Structure 1
Amino acid sequence: MEEQSAQEKSVEKRPESIQQHQKPCPPPPPRSRRWLMRGLVVLLLISVVFNLGFFAWYQEYFTIGGGPAEQFETGDQFAKEKIAIISITGTIMPPFTERILRSIKRAHEDDQVRGILLEIDSPGGLVADSHQIYHRLVELRKTKPIVVYMKRMAASGGYYVAMGAGEEGVIFAEPTTWTGSLGVIIPRFDLSGLAEKVGVVSDPLKTGEFKDALNPFRNLTDRERAIWDHILDESYQRFLNVITDNRKDLDYDQVKKLATGQIYPATDAKQNGLIDEIGYQEDALARLQEIMGLSKVCVIRYSHPKSLADVLLGSAEASQIENRKQALLDSTVPRAMYFASWMGELPGWQ
């Protein structure tokens, strides 16, 4: 009995000893303090959005008519006369086409811009977009000389836009530049064999014989192939004539002989009359300055300020890429391309 009572006393005393070693929990912060913290977080977010918006507004305010901004590149920063670098980079397609056209327009309207360095690093792109840029360059060269500087690649549509410099324009390419790939492509996949294996039958409801002429789940008919061959040849002949009109040492037959879709390295391109000189940006600028007859010149580059949507989302176009249904529909639309690739454009991967 005495042992049992001693155990009960030790059990009763144990919680008291544990309580002595435990620290009391801190009281919760008052409700007013929690609301203060939440308010500060909200104010911080508002401040970030406001500053991003102010940044975008500032960029747009200091450009003319929402067009491209000028960035000093090289030369005499205080010279009155300017050389404008218009850069064509990546696949020639929207929305980049519009930015290039705005740069051309800005250069055309600026009386201080005395010459243009057309900088190309592109495998080509859409037929219509390539011709739009070429057309605007033809108008520009009537008042201001254009010299072309090719970087890594200026193939297919990239070469097409280079013809905007005209017969008097000089084309420079770096020693490692790839150019050529003269021709037209409409990407198409033939999935008819796969469709037959998995039991897929394409049966679209259409109003005309040729409405689904590029349907990948069946073979092209002879009549369909003849139509698309005609469409391709129309763009192909325009390409050949554009080169013939703007390369004074090449006639139509010589251009056609070169227009096999082949890529030409810089040395071969010069030997075949597709370019004039092998050199770098400084060489092209020196030649252009010589043509202009100016000893001092400020070389500027056009850049396009980011909008508020660009800043917040990464780019205004990026949000469109998320629409996978639209991208899938776009992939079925035929696009003729001056493009140095067998595959062509993948919608949603611009």
Structure 2
Amino acid sequence: MADEKPDPQKTTSSLTTGNGEQVVRLVIEAQSTSKSRWGTKLLGLLLLFSIILNLMLLSSYGDYFNEFDGPLERYHSGSKDAEQKIALIRVGTTIMPPYTERILEQIKKATEDDSIKGMVLVVDSPGGLVADSHQIYHRLSQFAETKPIYVQMQRLAASGGYYIAMGGGDKGKLFAEPTTWTGSIGVIIPHYDITQLADKVGVQSEPLKTGEFKDSLSMFKPISERDREVWDGILDEAYQKFLGVIENGRPEMTRQQIEDIATGRIFTADQAIANGMVDEISFLDDTIAKMETDLKAGPMRVIEYEYPPTLTDVLLGSASASAENEMSLLKQLLGSPAPRAFYLLGGSQ
């Protein structure tokens, strides 16, 4: 028979009473080692969370009261000693907040800098919100009134990406890489009909509203003919605006030619050139060199803009910021009950 191991949680003791009887007393000692260890870890985690939270609050306070002078200028290429500059501005995201504000700030800074003689706008975007695309286009148009803009399309310059490329006006030039996809000219308002799913799970939508169209495009009802009439008018107005900016930016194309390509389809770089949508095949370095030659102002310094990271950015980390960027479009499409119109590549939603 195996030896019985003593229970570390139990101890025994004996005592003798006055009449000589021996009484055995069992004392149970609860070991708290494991509980104590978990308690220490929990306190440590709470302390770490408290420190991070306080640092973030301190950072937010500092960011709020810190004076903002706009984006910082950084050397990209060219002559480091040249006083005259070319501004390189990148649009490499879906066109929507908070990126819109940063792009507008960069264009504004380049516009106000007398030493900047031209801009190369680098577009690698599937497009984005109608209003944001037009805000950027408008600011670029103001710049193009006095200084030239060359557009370098990279992987994708579709829908709103092509819209802002028209900001260079009739004097601007459009360049695409050999593998660029562009076009997707049109407007889309995402809508999801979940009425059948709602019926299956027993969900009913009964909004309290003040007008017939207040819940227009609700996911819980089919689109009525009257709804469609209203939204068709809104879509057509945004669509005609898109055609108009192309007409201004590509004056060699007729209105009919523009309408023929404005079907929402994607074009390769060679197809875009054949249809008059793009001027040349080129890479960024070559496009910058072309602008420097066309300016005929001697050696140029090419600069771009960046934003210094705040303490909040550092605390959150780049991984968190990246995840937020990936989710932001999904939030715009699904997270808001308000209808949103997009100049956006069809498959992006």
TMscore range, shorter length: 0.7 to 0.9
**Distance between the aligned counterparts of 1:322 and 1:75, measured in 2?**
37
Q: Given the alignment, which residue of 332, 336, 339 partners 2:337?
A: 332
Match of 1:89 in 2: 92
**Distance between the aligned counterparts of 2:294 and 2:243, measured in 1?**
28
Contact 2:74 2:306 in 1 (8 A): yes
Give the AA of the match of 2:230.
Answer: I
**Distance between the aligned counterparts of 1:173 and 1:321, measured in 2?**
26
* Cα displacement (A) at 1:329: 8.0
Number of residue pairs matched by the alignment: 292
Identity %: 51
Match of 2:83 in 1: 80
* Cα displacement (A) at 1:245: 1.2
**Cα deviations across residues 132-175 of structure 1 (Å, max 9, x unaligned)?**
00000010011111100011000000000000011111101000
Is residue 2:311 matched to residue 1:308?
yes
Give the AA of the match of 2:252.
Answer: D
* Cα displacement (A) at 1:321: 10
**Cα deviations across residues 244-297 of structure 1 (Å, max 9, x unaligned)?**
111021111111110000000100001001100001011211221122112301
Match of 2:22 in 1: none
Give the alignment's TM-score, normalised by structure 2. 0.77
**Distance between the aligned counterparts of 1:119 and 1:329, measured in 2?**
29
Q: Given the alignment, which residue of 210, 215, 218 partners 1:212?
A: 215
Aligned to 2:247, the other structure's residue is in SS state: helix
Match of 2:268 in 1: 265
Aligned to 2:128, the other structure's residue is in SS state: strand
Contact 1:124 1:130 in 2 (8 A): yes
Give the AA of the match of 1:280.
Answer: F
1:1-350 residue pairs with structure 2 within 5 A?
A: 65-314=68-317, 330-342=335-347, 344=349
Contact 1:321 1:327 in 2 (8 A): no
Which ranges of 4 or more aligned residues in structure 1 deviate by more than 6 Å? 315-323, 326-329
Change (3 A) 1:328 1:115: closer
Contact 2:264 2:346 in 1 (8 A): no
Aligned to 2:136, the other structure's residue is in SS state: helix
**Cα deviations across residues 156-203 of structure 1 (Å, max 9, x unaligned)?**
000000000111111010000000000000011111122222222221
Contact 1:187 1:342 in 2 (8 A): no
Aligned to 1:86, the other structure's residue is in SS state: strand
Larger mean CA deviation between 257-266 and 278-287 belongs to: 278-287
**Distance between the aligned counterparts of 2:126 and 2:166, measured in 1?**
15
**Distance between the aligned counterparts of 2:338 and 2:112, measured in 1?**
36
**Distance between the aligned counterparts of 1:322 and 1:284, measured in 2?**
33
**Cα deviations across residues 14-44 of structure 1 (Å, max 9, x unaligned)?**
xxxxxxxxxxxxxxxxxxxxxxxx9xx99xx
Change (3 A) 1:310 1:245: same
In structure 2, list runs of 5 or more residues that go unmatched: 1-43
